Structures are given as C-alpha cells and as structure tokens.
Amino acid sequence: MGVPDFFVSKSMIEPSVEKQFLLWLHKDYTRRFGYGVRNIDKCDFYTTYSVENLPEEFYEINNGMARSHVLEYAKELEAKGLLRFAENGLKFHFTKEGYEAVSASKCQRFLDALNRNPGALALAAAIVSVGSLIVAILALRNGP
C-alpha cells in the first residue's frame, strides 16, 4: 500500500499560483516594512502558517483535513532563487532577485523579457524596418 496522493508533494507550481504566492508575500512585506530591499532579512515568512490565514489557492482540504502548500511553494521558489530559507527551515525570506521580480512594473518585466530574448527584439526591429520601407516606397511612388 503506497502513500496516498494527498500526501505526495507536487514538484511544480503553476505559473499563475506562483505569481499569486509571490504577490501575497510581497503584500505582507510591504505592509510591515514598506518598499525596498533593505529589510528583506528582517521580514520572516513561515512554513507553518495556519490555513485560516492563507488564501484558498495555497491549501487544499481532503477528507476534512487541510494541507498547506506553503512549504512546497517556498521550496520550489527557493530552487528558482526567489526565496531562501533560514537555517531552522521554518522561516524563509525574499532574495533580492525575488523581491525585484515581484515588485517590477509591467514595463520593467517587458524590458527584462526583451533582454532575455534578443531574438524577439531583433524580429520587432526587422518588422518595423520592413514597414518603414513599404511606407517609403509608397510615398515615392505616389509622388508630390
């Protein structure tokens, strides 16, 4: 007889839930310490949050038992370099990269995506160039 599925940890977080989890942590951080990375080491988040204090997306109820996903979400985000655990394993904190990732504006995220994908930027530049060429040809053809 194996371990019930309820107790088996899933290895990945859905991107939408990952974003919600990071935003939830960020909201708590900014409520307690304001904006900026200067206090990320002082802002403790815990793996032992009661499900009564968690949004519904971060726990599940099966056969009347509640199971929090905070630990597995935090471990996954630690592997991505966005969070780090304290030595005792019960507390975790934002890394500078994690805080910046969740607090970035849409414009910053767009620019970061372009920096990570230079081919997309080159493609956009090529499309603009071809469009400009077509407009120039049409303008010269029709004359004054």
Cα(28)–Cα(32) distance, rounded to whole angstroms? 6
pLDDT at residue 1, rounded to an integer = 41
Q: What is the share, in percent, of the chain residues with pLDDT greater than 90?
A: 44
- Give yes or no: residues 61 and 95 share one domain: yes
Cα(118)–Cα(142) distance, rounded to whole angstroms? 36
Cα(55)–Cα(67) distance, rounded to whole angstroms? 12
Distance linking the first and last C-alpha atoms of the chain: 85
Cα(64)–Cα(135) distance, rounded to whole angstroms? 66
- Give yes or no: residues 115 and 88 share one domain: no
Q: Which domain holds residue 47?
A: 5-103
pLDDT at residue 115, rounded to an integer = 78
Tokens read off for 21: 């989890």
Region class of 4: left (phi > 0), else alpha (psi between -120 and 50), else beta: beta
- Give yes or no: residues 62 and 87 share one domain: yes
- Give yes or no: residues 129 and 72 share one domain: no
- Give yes or no: residues 25 and 79 share one domain: yes
Q: What is the dihedral of CA 113, 103, 49, 18, to 10 degrees?
A: -20
- pTM, to two decimals: 0.66
User: Tens digit of pLDDT for each residue in 86-125?
Assistant: 988 899 999 999 999 888 777 777 777 777 888 877 888 8
Report the number of distinct structural domains present in the chain: 2
- Give yes or no: residues 137 and 98 share one domain: no
